[in-house]
Amino acid sequence: MDALAILILVVALVGLGLVAAVTGLLVSRRRGPRPLPNTHTDVLVQPPVETDEPPVELSSPPATLEPEVELPETPEALVEEAPALERPEGTASRLVRLRQRLAGSQGALGRGLLALLSRDRLDEDTWESIEDTLLTADIGVGPTQELVERLRTRMRVEGGTGADARTVLREELLALVDPSMDRRLQVSGADGQPGVVLVVGVNGAGKTTTVGKISRILVAEDHSVVLGAADTFRAAAVEQLATWGERVGVEVVRGPEGTDPASVAFEAVKEGVARGVDTVIVDTAGRLQNKAGLMDELGKVKRVIEKQAPVTEVLLVLDATTGQNGMIQARVFSEVVDVTGIVLTKLDGSAKGGIVVAVQRELGVPVKLVGLGEGADDLAPFDAGAFVDALLG
């Protein structure tokens, strides 16, 4: 082969190599970079490169970073807080107000009697006036005659000044009210069981309100309490009792309107036993004394309750302003359930305080509590001495 042919062959081979190289470069650009041999998907964070230059401080966040969002502060008014529980008034201060309230409402009776007994001459007309004054005060015929005879005897023997008349009258009225009666509320049961207080009375006497006020007295004395809303025929009574309970943190067991009252009473006592509370107070429907069926139902409530725990107290709520009508109510209720104590409401609005004596004589049980106003703590333990002192003004 001559030299020219060899040169042409070399040039051709070089040209083919250049074409192959260009073709490979174009193909590699279309396919992208070759994959790395390591196929792990975690992002590898490279260690920082040490340098003598100070780090760069950014005066503002990079544009690619979203700015930090500040959440608005919640207004204090929108924060719901549990209502603070009320702290009921203690017994000592209630008794102070008892004396003050009674002195304002009942003093007319005592002042009238003192004026008659302080006369220079106690003739038959005077004694008749004394008797009329006592009867008007709802003391009752029997107790009135007894008191007049005792006053006649003592004033005839002792005689004396007006101060002596006051002393004699106070002693005789106190004996009539009978300070020896046990007026303590039986709010504790035996063998770890709760005391069960059944509250009865006609509608309008203040029965449901009395239940709420009794719970406040017990809470003030650090007793644990459960209330049973067994007056299921009056939705307002159930709601009213629930409100009383909420104010002092006392649980109220209730049922739908029209529920069998005995079943609600049963569940309330059952709850009290389960929780180990000190006292369960059961409100009942206002029974009219001329409806035998309803009165029989009240007896049923008591029997059902006693399947869980004995009833330790049956309180009869009477309106002090009803006079002899209240006495009729007292008789009927005492025939259905064994009344153990009496609560006299609205005593502050009546000068007829003699009903205290009359109802005690009728039932043979003590007045244990008296209502002296519309306030939440206007219910106080009855104190015979304070009552008589208030009568005398």
Q: In the structure, what pLDDT confidence band is assigned to residue 7 with cuts at 50, 70 and 90?
A: low
Q: What is the pLDDT of residue 72?
A: 47
Residue 258 annotated as binding? no
Which pair of structure tokens corresponds to residue 275?
């929780």
The topology under which CATH files domain 195-339 is Rossmann fold (3.40.50)
Q: Is the pLDDT higher at 169 or at 106?
A: 169
Residue 274 annotated as binding? no
pLDDT in tens, 270-311: 999 999 999 999 999 876 655 677 778 888 999 999 999 999
State which amino acid sits at residue 365: V
Q: In this model, does residue 59 exceed pLDDT 50?
A: no
Of 77-81, 169-173, 310-314, the range with the highest mean pLDDT is 310-314
Q: In this model, does residue 245 exceed pLDDT 60?
A: yes
Residue 202 annotated as binding? yes
Q: What is the pLDDT of residue 94?
A: 67
Q: What is the pLDDT of residue 369?
A: 94
d(CA 309, CA 325): 33
Q: In this model, does residue 86 exceed pLDDT 80?
A: no
Residue 122 annotated as binding? no
Q: In this model, does residue 33 exceed pLDDT 80?
A: no
d(CA 310, CA 69): 65
Residue 344 annotated as binding? no
Q: Is the pLDDT higher at 246 or at 12?
A: 246
Q: In the structure, what pLDDT confidence band is assigned to residue 145 with cuts at 50, 70 and 90?
A: very high
Residue 207 annotated as binding? yes
Give mean pLDDT, residues 372-393: 83
Residue 285 annotated as binding? yes
Task: Name the residue ranges covered by the structural domains of the chain.
Answer: 91-177, 195-339
Q: In the structure, what pLDDT confidence band is assigned to residue 366 with cuts at 50, 70 and 90?
A: very high
Residue 287 annotated as binding? yes
Mean pLDDT rounded to a whole number for the chain: 78
d(CA 176, CA 325): 21
Residue 38 annotated as binding? no
Contact 356, 344 (CB under 8 A): yes
pLDDT in tens, 189-240: 888 899 999 999 988 888 999 999 999 999 999 999 999 999 888 888 899 9
Contact 67, 195 (CB under 8 A): no
DSSP 8-class letter at 278: S
Of 323, 336, 99, nearest in space to 201 by CA: 336
Compute CA 78 distance to the chain's CA centroid, rounded to the nearest angstrom.
Answer: 27
Q: In the structure, what pLDDT confidence band is assigned to residue 42 with cuts at 50, 70 and 90?
A: very low
With a pLDDT cut of 90, the percent of the chain lying above it is 36
Q: What is the pLDDT of residue 222?
A: 92
Residue 347 annotated as binding? yes
Compute CA 356 distance to the chain's CA centroid, rounded to the nearest angstrom.
Answer: 28
d(CA 325, CA 320): 10
Contact 89, 247 (CB under 8 A): no
Residue 74 annotated as binding? no
Q: In this model, does residue 49 exceed pLDDT 70?
A: no
Asked which of 53-62, 68-77, 304-313 is least confident by mean pLDDT, the reply is 53-62
Buried b or exposed e, range 11-50, using 16+ CB within 10 angstroms: eeeeeeeeeeeeeeeeeeeeeeeeeeeeeeeeeeeeeeee
Residue 208 annotated as binding? yes
Residue 302 annotated as binding? no
Q: In the structure, what pLDDT confidence band is assigned to residue 58 with cuts at 50, 70 and 90?
A: very low
Residue 162 annotated as binding? no
Q: What is the pLDDT of residue 164?
A: 82
Determine the CATH number of domain 91-177. 1.20.120.140
Residue 204 annotated as binding? yes
Which pair of structure tokens corresponds to residue 331?
């008789």
With a pLDDT cut of 70, the percent of the chain lying above it is 69
Q: In this model, does residue 180 exceed pLDDT 90?
A: yes
